[in-house]
Amino acid sequence: MGNIEVGSKLTLSKAKLNDFLRSLDALLAAPIRLEHGEVHFAINPPLEQILRDAEYVNSTISPVALLFPQTEVLFNFKLNGKPQLEFPPPPQPLVIFGIRSCDVAAIRYLEMFFSRNFVDTPFCERAKVTTLISVACQRPSKNCFCPCCAGGPFLEDGYDIQLVDFGELFLVEVGSEKGKQLLSGREGFFEPAPEGLIERRNSLYEETLQKFEIASHMGTGVRKVTSRSVSEELWKMMAARCIECGGCAFVCPLCTCFDVVDHKLPLHSDGTACGWRERCWDCCQFAGYSMEAAGVSPRPDKLSRFKRRFYHKLSYFYMEMDGRVGCVGCGRCIQVCFGVVDMPAVVNTLREEKVFGVRLR
pLDDT tens digits for range 42-98? 999 999 999 987 778 899 999 999 999 999 999 999 988 888 999 999 999 999 999
Helices 218-226, 302-314: inter-axial angle, 10-degree rounding: 120
Compute CA distances 354 → 187, 188, 234, whole Å.
56, 58, 7
Mean pLDDT confidence for 20-36: 96
Query: Percent of the chain scored above 90 by pLDDT?
Result: 85
Helix (H, G, I), strand (E, B) or coil at 6: coil
Residue 268's pLDDT band (cuts 50, 70, 90): confident
Please check the confidence at residue 361 and state whether its pLDDT lies above 60: no
Strand partners, 303: none
Closest to 98 measured CA to CA, from 133, 127, 130: 133
Length of the chain (residues)? 361
Helix (H, G, I), strand (E, B) or coil at 104: helix
Q: Determine contact, residues 145/212, Cβ cutoff 8 Å.
A: yes
Q: Determine contact, residues 36/53, Cβ cutoff 8 Å.
A: no
Identify the DSSP state of 128: H
Helix (H, G, I), strand (E, B) or coil at 176: coil
Peptide bond preceding 153 in cis form (omega within 30 of 0): yes
Task: State which amino acid sits at residue 327.
Answer: C
Q: Determine contact, residues 350/310, Cβ cutoff 8 Å.
A: no
Helix (H, G, I), strand (E, B) or coil at 270: coil
Q: To 10 degrees, the CA torsion angle through 316, 319, 324, 328?
A: -70
Phi, psi angles (nearest 5°) of residue 119? -85, 120
Encode pLDDT of 334-360 as tens digits.
999 999 999 999 999 999 876 655 544
For residue 357, the model assigns a pLDDT of: 53
Q: Which residues, 6+ apart, have CB-to-CB distance to 108 below 8 Å?
A: 158
Mean pLDDT confidence for 110-127: 96
CA distance 95 to 21: 9
Mean pLDDT confidence for 17-31: 97
CA distance 179 to 7: 10
Q: Which residues, 6+ apart, have CB-to-CB distance to 227 below 8 Å?
A: none
Please check the confidence at residue 2 and state whether its pLDDT lies above 80: no
Q: Which residues, 6+ apart, have CB-to-CB distance to 258 below 8 Å?
A: 279, 280, 281, 282
CA distance 230 to 124: 37
